[in-house]
Amino acid sequence: MDTPSLEKATFGAGCFWGVEATFRQLPGIVSTAAGYEGGTYPDPTYLDVCTDQTGHAEVVQVEYDPRKVSYEQLLRIFWDNHDPTQLNRQGPDCGTQYRSVIFCHSPEQEAAARVSKEKLEKQRRYARPIVTQIVPASTFYRAEEYHQQYLEKRGLSHCHI
């Protein structure tokens, strides 16, 4: 039996609880993990990241089957489920850990992310400029277990803002 070749994608779009819940609902998503990425502090904890001093963003790393869901579809979900014009915040959450960011795992992902961002800018979908960072993936640190599938564990479908 041919084992599918899975791929990873990593997105920061504010608090990772709601982002993870959104991606978990998609067909073709094999797994999700809430975590931290993009900073310089090794092995950060949630408390470390909350200081806004580590440089890490709260992110969700998804493992997906590209035969069932494309990276472009994941990008659409990313753009549609947060405000990419808010610098270092989403809703009431403020700080660099809540920044809008796409961590790319390949040159192909980076190209697709840049094309999708340019398309949205040309469409003038947002009244303000898109501030989303598009950067190469770095070390992903899995968040503490109580953050994994946080909303699902509590019987919630979304974060209340």
Q: Rounded to whole angstroms, how far apart are CA atoms 5 and 103?
A: 20
Contact 123, 117 (CB under 8 A): no
Cβ neighbours, 10 Å, residue 39: 19
DSSP 19-52: HHHHHHTSTTEEEEEEEEES-SSSS--HHHHTTT
Predicted TM-score (pTM) of the model is 0.92
pLDDT score for 145: 81
Counting the structural domains of the chain, the total is 1
Is there a domain that residue 20 lies in?
A: yes
Is there a domain that residue 143 lies in?
A: yes
Is there a domain that residue 1 lies in?
A: no
Q: Which two tokens stand for residue 82?
A: 């947060």
User: Which is more confidently placed, 137 or 157?
Assistant: 137
Amino acid at 11: F
Q: Which two tokens stand for residue 123?
A: 């469409």
Maximum Cα–Cα distance across the chain: 50
Is there a domain that residue 145 lies in?
A: yes
pLDDT score for 158: 59
pLDDT band at 151 (very low <50, low <70, confident <90, very high): low
pLDDT of 113-150, one tens digit each? 999 999 999 999 899 999 999 999 999 999 988 778 75
Q: Rounded to whole angstroms, how far apart are CA atoms 25 and 69?
A: 12
Tell me, what CATH number does 75's domain have? Answer: 3.30.1060.10
Residue in the block written with tokens 């400029």? 129
Is there a domain that residue 161 lies in?
A: no
What backbone phi and psi angles, to 5 degrees, belong to 107? -60, -30
Which residues are catalytic, by number? Answer: 15
Expressed as residue numbers, the domain containing 140 is 7-153
pLDDT band at 161 (very low <50, low <70, confident <90, very high): very low
Phi and psi based region of residue 52 (left: phi greater than 0; alpha: psi -120 to 50; beta: remaining): left
Is there a domain that residue 160 lies in?
A: no
Is there a domain that residue 158 lies in?
A: no
Is there a domain that residue 17 lies in?
A: yes
